[in-house]
Amino acid sequence: MDHTDPDERWLVTTVHVAFFLLLGSSFARFLIRGQGGALTGLVVALFVVFCLFYILGHFLAPGPRPGSAPTARHLAWLASVSVVWIFLVALAPSATWCAMPLLFAGVHALPSRIAVALAAVLTALVVASEIRMAAGTLNPNMVVAPIAVAAAATAALVYLQRQAARQRALIDDLVRARRDLAATERRAGVLAERQRLSSEIHDTLTQGLSSQQMLLQAAERVWQTDPNTAREHIRKASGITSRSLAEARRFVHDLAPADLTELSLPEALGALAERESGLGLAVEFRLDGDPPPLPEHTEATLLRIAQGALANVREHATATRAALTLTCLDDQISLDVADNGRGFDVAALPTVAAGRARGHGLPAMRIRARQSGGTLTVESTPGEGTVVSVAILLVPAPHKAPVA
């Protein structure tokens, strides 16, 4: 059973309370009426064994989760406690109504056809016990009432079981549909972005390079016969080169991390920590020192490495806490990403050549750090978490000579 569901816990608790109330009243009735005779000791022992079997089954052989098949252990418990109940009813008919909790356990755990058959057997035993206990004229309610109650309870439980199965199937379909829709939207977004970049490059850089080629070829043809025209062609090609360079820089700027277009690096890291927190992982951002003005590529490198490291934490570390720490010194800026996850053996990491790395793995992070003039280190021990650190040296601005 799903004991995290409050409704499920309430139902199970109610069934347990009902069982112990029925068991207690049955035992009291047996002692008051003295039905056991010479077998009183055996009947008392059966009551104790029946109670212990029921309690142990709750802890050692719990029922299956909704929609799952019952385990062999649970089926063995159900069979054992049913056999003890049958012997108990044969010797002490007052224990008849303890069958109701067993009926619930059987219908809840077994497939419908087997559960209905079990309910029919238990009901027949209850009716036989009631008839056996009858004194004088047989009361029709002793036969009809158990059958009616068992039929209503079994029908209700089977109905709820099937409704729950339908709801689970519907939820699974909705989850799959949402996952497929998200994948389709991602693919559509990737294709749209590729198309946009393709159009941008074609309309700017490709056209510019084509024009440069034609101008340079024209300049080469008239270089000896008309130097002035050749130089004019070269000047025009140079102007196109400047515009193409500006376009290329615009592309690079547009492809930079979106957070850095409106936020500073500490603010972007704080926003990243806030976004990554949730679903069992708490991420904290800490700033140590005052960050100096940094080149755009340095800020992008630090943010991308933080994103990749947190992606690894979420996908592989099974951590509950992580911390981003940005440390600003006079000649260096460093970023540490620490988690309390399962860790790993750093010595077992494969060596990946530059240019073969893909995605946001450690090789890609090392390449990013190296391209920005920094270094990336990984410290980890199995069972003790991981710390990924990147340190980038800051190039001091040149001092201007004093004016005499």
What six digits make up the tokens of 8?
A: 């499920």
pLDDT value at position 355?
Answer: 40
**Which of 104, 133, 162 is at the close of a domain?**
133
Range of the domain at 350: 259-393
Whole-angstrom Cα distance, residue 269 to residue 350? 29
Q: Which helix (H) or strand (E) covers residue 371, if one does?
A: helix 362-371
pLDDT value at position 377?
Answer: 92
Overall domain count for the chain:
2
85 in a domain, yes or no?
A: yes
pLDDT value at position 390?
Answer: 94
Q: For residues 107 and 154, is the Cβ–Cβ distance under 8 A?
A: yes
pLDDT value at position 253?
Answer: 62
pLDDT value at position 37?
Answer: 64
267 in a domain, yes or no?
A: yes
pLDDT value at position 120?
Answer: 81
| pTM of model > 0.75 | no
164 in a domain, yes or no?
A: no
69 in a domain, yes or no?
A: yes
175 in a domain, yes or no?
A: no
Domain CATH for 308: 3.30.565.10
pLDDT value at position 357?
Answer: 40
pLDDT value at position 203?
Answer: 55
In a 3-state reduction of DSSP, which class is residue 325? strand
Whole-angstrom Cα distance, residue 104 to residue 17? 13
Pairing of strands 282-288, 321-328: parallel
pLDDT value at position 334?
Answer: 92
**Which of 83, 111, 133 is at the close of a domain?**
133
pLDDT value at position 336?
Answer: 93
285 in a domain, yes or no?
A: yes
In a 3-state reduction of DSSP, which class is residue 335? strand
44 in a domain, yes or no?
A: yes
401 in a domain, yes or no?
A: no
Low-confidence ranges of the chain (pLDDT < 70): 1-5, 34-37, 64-67, 101, 103-110, 133-139, 193, 196-204, 207, 247, 250-259, 261, 278-279, 349-360, 396-404
**Which of 89, 118, 133 is at the close of a domain?**
133
